[in-house]
Amino acid sequence: MNNTMTTMVRILLVISVIGVMGFKGQSSTISDLEIQAALTQRLAMDGRINPKAIQVKVENGTATLSGTVETLTEKALAENLVVSTYGVKAVNNQLIVKPAPTKDFAVEQAVKEAIKATPALQKSDIQVSVNDGIVTLKGPVEKQSQSLAAEFAAKTAPGVVRVVNLIKVTHPRPDREIEKDVVFYLQSSSIVNLDDVDYVVKDGVVTLKGSIDNLSHKYAIANDLEKIHGVKTVDVSGLSVKDAKHA
């Protein structure tokens, strides 16, 4: 097998090994260039992302994304794709959302329509304001899930460069009750070793510190904990991938 064929096989291995290994560890044999080629290929294959304006660079297992995207949702999709690629230890997402070709008023209308189209928010009274593409959301909701739904809806609108969520939950859940559910999740999760992770719950914010086996676990844990009733947000910035050597 010639060198070109060998490289292609290794790149395909990076793309396909996820399903085989189940994110159980980091590679000690896959090089940065091979990870970079695999990421470029995966971005090109994903129909939800326009890869033409996105640049990828991998150094010591850290993948850096630069360039432009149309929406905050597309920016998040690109990052999630990188996170789920075998061998990536960290992500530096420098993607910039293109400014809307229309005025803030048009962006505001688009955000309001996105919120109105969300079933859980049809009876809500959420105020929307936009300044240079920065969307601010205000108003009361009964559940934290409604606040998150409004923020997600706003991020799907073209031209939104950032969302400031100032929505207030009228009946917040006590931290001690949230903590019970957090502990239960951490104890029962197959991707968390409770001995390696510390947790704190304060004012509905869950903060985790410690080490995990794979970068993808970091995002999966945050996503799962955000579904717990009463959780406002999850801070996983203190979680790091366990040391592993890269070729």
Do 80 and 142 sit in the same domain of this protein?
Answer: no
Q: Has residue 12 got a pLDDT over 90?
A: no
Backbone phi, psi, residue 67, to 5°: 120, -155
- Is 232 a residue whose pLDDT tops 90? no
Do 79 and 124 lie in a common domain? no
CB contact at 8 A, 17 and 84: no
Q: Is 216 helix (H, G, I), strand (E, B) or coil?
A: helix
* Residue 118 to residues 17, 141, 166, 167, 169, Cα–Cα distance (Å): 36, 14, 18, 16, 18
Which residues form the domain of 185? 175-241
Decide if pLDDT at 129 tops 90. Answer: yes
Lowest mean pLDDT among 21-25, 150-154, 216-220: 21-25
Is pLDDT of 114 > 60?
A: yes
pLDDT of residue 159: 85
Show the tokens assigned to 101: 């070709």
Q: What mean pLDDT is reported for the chain?
A: 84
Residues 154 and 224 in one domain: no
Predicted confidence (pLDDT) at residue 195 exceeds the cutoff of 70: yes
The answer to whether residue 247 is domain-embedded is no
Q: What is the pLDDT of residue 101?
A: 62
CA distance 235 to 207: 5
70, 100, 208 from 128: Cα distances, Å? 20, 17, 31
Is residue 246 in a domain?
no
97, 129, 150 — which closes off a domain?
Answer: 97
Q: Which helix (H) or strand (E) holds 168?
A: strand 162-169
Phi/psi at 238 (5° precision): -85, 0
Q: pLDDT exceeding 70 applies to what percent of the chain? A: 85
Q: Which of 78, 97, 116 is the last residue of a domain?
A: 97
Query: Which residues lie below 8 Å from residue 17, measured CB to CB, with a gap of 6+?
Result: 27, 86
Domain count, the chain: 3
